[in-house]
Structure 1
């Protein structure tokens, strides 16, 4: 069975979780978390490289021991260390980690101090008021846990888009090489670029003699066959991801693609428009009576009801049909529109690669400028830069800019927004900075009004340029902070600063609906990678998908501008 980077990363992340629950050495835990991140972000499939007989590439922070474990996982599909740790910690305990707000440290305390092993036990302890008695918890934490447990029980599992992409890409490549196959397309929420997906929907057209259905059911990553027929089949992959395949005729391919891409609300609106014209739309085509008048392409389906083609990312019934009828659909941003990246880290703080390597990697992806924004000193966990280290980095940037051609490094810092709204700016060095990114990395639980005022005070600072990952969320891991984002968007417009759309797949923050509001308010957004290594620039593609869901055109995104135009905008904020 092919092993994807997401599989290796998941194993390393689980090892780190179990080690932390057991109270292991923090440096060992950090090594596995770092390995999970590095492998997860790496642009090429390590399993495929090793399968071809190539050497394992040199990866930052991954030495002989971790490299050996990567080989073990690729070769056997298992990791002996993980199996041992699973034997030491009840399996149900790790289920607690899936509850939002419960990290390994809290789970460790609940497990060791209250003997909590299951979500059901945790729910009972919360209702009895016993969690608040633990050190580091309290009534508010207990109430949040109770709310999270109840919400968690009602949620079906969803996979981050980046992880789903690895499984989808491999399966698509497999199906495209089946004899007789004409077209293969991913539909559903994946095609709409939602930040998480519940399953994968695949459409295929092929000649009648094609063995595509049998090959799909025989795919070596299939763990369970839910159903199998001549035109549709459904399976569960070993990763737990469900995949549904539908075989359709070429003459109906566009109609089926439109139908199965969704969203449900968008499709209902489209069918209603068709009914008003005396037409019927389904997955087989557009019909006038019993005569099919369109359906081979999506464009023909939309044209039959008097609309231009609508990009999949917009199909959420959030005004796209009205915009299409009025000829006001935006020309959505493309990855190629980006001229630079305004948020990246190096070895100096918590990144994995050098200034030079980051600059060259950005240039290789067609970017002409890159802001180096290592953390300020208050963020100790990320090795924030003190004034001396900061000065050395700024000097090195000057030297590299004098040497490199085709890429310009901007001097920046990701500074902490402290609880009172002040900024952790590097003392005596702010005049040398091109860009100041403010970020919330602590005090996530402040009340909505206080959190909002904290950020607004930070944005009022003369040197403030950009608000990083505005909601501070981690998808499926940490809930967004409580904040009045409408006020912040409007304040950013008035102040002349910008909001980030952080492209890291676990963030994708600003969310799409707030991107749409920023656009409506005239507030510029920056689509940034927040790269912590050279492979991190590949995440820009996920950020572009989120930007397109938020209706953003190139002009709505600040880093589509030339360096000269960008500097004019920056100078206007200071």
Structure 2
């Protein structure tokens, strides 16, 4: 039965998809989509709120009807509305909406005219040339569909890191309650903070008589048991996520954790070092002959190669071993290093809470400051601010700051970068702000040269402070726009402005490689939540993971500074 927000969000998303194919009321469709997005991003589990009897209509985008459906899903794992839609439309038809170039209208045509319900059927129809004759398609569209479906079918299923965390954290807590279990940890790409995760690799140290394997099998989210033995098990959760559990001896725990954390390339490099020293390295330890000389901890494993412990996020064979050998590994940024958040929205545009509610939530997380950066007027669908409304919000922030204790709101804007590189608001409005975040929200299809020049011109604006989500990508949904990031970063250095690492789980933008590029060029990066609700503020932890993959230390991050130093850094950008 679905127990996590991601499961509930998936149900609401499927309902919205099916309703859209049925050409239902757009407002109804939008309600389901908004609810799915908000629930998927929310840090608190809906199940816990239902169990405590809390009023679900207080959640963003949830009215009485959707609140009732949340209760139904938590109680039964099902939704009658979705089941009814499944009787009207093939349940697999929503998969076609994930094929680039296919919207609800085209999917409906494919189903109605050719009875296409799956990606495999779609590929066969394209190969046979049966699609080009349909109204609104054509030979070029058919070829594009075939190429997109082939790429989709060849790609292994992965889920976003934040979604994987919902499953991993509750499962680790469940397994930790087994008899005789000493420790449980998730390894693999999850531990390395990859932006997407294919499966969960879990290690446990447990006594010989532990019931940890039986406890895994009894977990109420397990849908299928693939293998179950005394030390190894593989299951598939009802969400489709595979979990591999391995029980190891305490003496081998560090070696196993290192081995199953990876990456494969990092492990190969370590084994090569072992061979050069006449040693053998595997998941059971480091051996000289038959003698195990290290293995109980990762630090001991690395120490056997005269290396310091290497943080998991760096283990990609991208120079971390050479840096460790030379004593040049950075002390990576930690969540506790962040003093505040420089990108957040309120109910004034497309956020869900008031200025004061966002301020108090930020203070509860230990922040000293929070920048309020609403959308500008160009983004009409988000109710972006015009000069008058921005001035009114600035006045409101000044009044609220006078009464707040322990937290300061900074005045900002997420201003649209227009097609020609100009900004969406006049200088007279921007001059009053503490920071101006420039963002590309349109014309993602510009050529590399034009997109780059557009952003460079925006960065030259005297009030430009920070470039938001610099590549515009949405993980597994929208590819990055084509832009010369090295030129952007070097121009930021020359101009004296900063780059954002947007911590929203669907973005994680900057890429880790671009974080390292910014570090090497001496450009500070702000790790921001892009919060649209109080719960979203907690997403900073995923941004920190991405920053660590990009080798960033606290000194490389703009919002690790205390407020007086931050104000100085923001002020010096303004030309």
Which TM-score tier does this pair reach, normalised by the shorter chain?
over 0.9
8 Å Cα contact 2:252-2:295 kept in structure 1: yes
Superposed displacement of residue 149, structure 1? 2.2
Partner of 1:429: 429
8 Å Cα contact 2:559-2:566 kept in structure 1: yes
SS of residue paired to 2:154: coil
Deviations 1:329-371 (A, max 9, x none): 0100001111111110000100000011011111111111111
Distance 1:518 1:494, change over 3 A: same
The two structures, once aligned, show a CA RMSD in angstroms of 2.2
Distance across 1 between alignment mates of 2:556 and 2:103: 36
Superposed displacement of residue 112, structure 1? 6.8
Distance across 2 between alignment mates of 1:134 and 1:322: 59
* 1:55-454 paired onto structure 2 within 5 Å: 55-56=55-56, 58-100=58-100, 102=102, 104=104, 107=107, 117-120=117-120, 122-123=122-123, 124-125=125-126, 145-426=145-426, 428-454=428-454
8 Å Cα contact 1:100-1:477 kept in structure 2: no
Distance across 1 between alignment mates of 2:270 and 2:100: 36
Distance across 2 between alignment mates of 1:430 and 1:138: 48
Superposed displacement of residue 169, structure 1? 0.8
8 Å Cα contact 1:162-1:505 kept in structure 2: yes
Distance 1:505 1:260, change over 3 A: same
Distance across 1 between alignment mates of 2:223 and 2:30: 32
8 Å Cα contact 1:2-1:47 kept in structure 2: no
Distance across 1 between alignment mates of 2:13 and 2:369: 33
Distance 1:471 1:113, change over 3 A: farther
Distance across 1 between alignment mates of 2:127 and 2:468: 34
Deviations 1:241-260 (A, max 9, x none): 00000011011111100110
Distance 1:133 1:459, change over 3 A: farther
SS of residue paired to 1:451: helix
Partner of 1:480: 480
Superposed displacement of residue 99, structure 1? 2.9
Distance across 1 between alignment mates of 2:76 and 2:343: 38
Deviations 1:270-326 (A, max 9, x none): 111111111111111110100011101110000011100000000010110000000
SS of residue paired to 2:327: coil
Distance across 2 between alignment mates of 1:397 and 1:55: 29
- Once the two structures are overlaid, the 10-residue window that deviates more, 268-277 or 95-104, is 95-104
8 Å Cα contact 2:448-2:484 kept in structure 1: yes
Partner of 2:520: 520
Superposed displacement of residue 114, structure 1? 8.0
Distance across 2 between alignment mates of 1:125 and 1:276: 53
Partner of 1:542: 542
Superposed displacement of residue 519, structure 1? 0.9
Name the TM-score, length of structure 2 as normaliser. 0.95
Distance across 2 between alignment mates of 1:501 and 1:139: 41
Distance across 1 between alignment mates of 2:52 and 2:234: 31
Superposed displacement of residue 29, structure 1? 1.9
Superposed displacement of residue 492, structure 1? 1.2
Distance across 2 between alignment mates of 1:107 and 1:446: 28
Unaligned residue ranges in structure 2 (runs of 5+):
none
Partner of 1:463: 463
Distance across 2 between alignment mates of 1:508 and 1:129: 40
Deviations 1:446-484 (A, max 9, x none): 222222122112112111111111111111111111111
Partner of 1:572: 572
Distance 1:51 1:252, change over 3 A: same
Superposed displacement of residue 185, structure 1? 0.7
Name the TM-score, length of structure 1 as normaliser. 0.95
8 Å Cα contact 2:126-2:146 kept in structure 1: no
Deviations 1:64-83 (A, max 9, x none): 11110100100110111112
8 Å Cα contact 1:390-1:426 kept in structure 2: no
Distance across 1 between alignment mates of 2:454 and 2:565: 30
SS of residue paired to 2:34: helix
SS of residue paired to 1:374: strand
8 Å Cα contact 2:126-2:145 kept in structure 1: no
Distance across 2 between alignment mates of 1:131 and 1:370: 53
Superposed displacement of residue 209, structure 1? 0.7
Superposed displacement of residue 231, structure 1? 1.0
Aligned length: 573
- Once the two structures are overlaid, the 10-residue window that deviates more, 86-95 or 65-74, is 86-95
* 1:12-23 paired onto structure 2 within 5 Å: 12-23=12-23
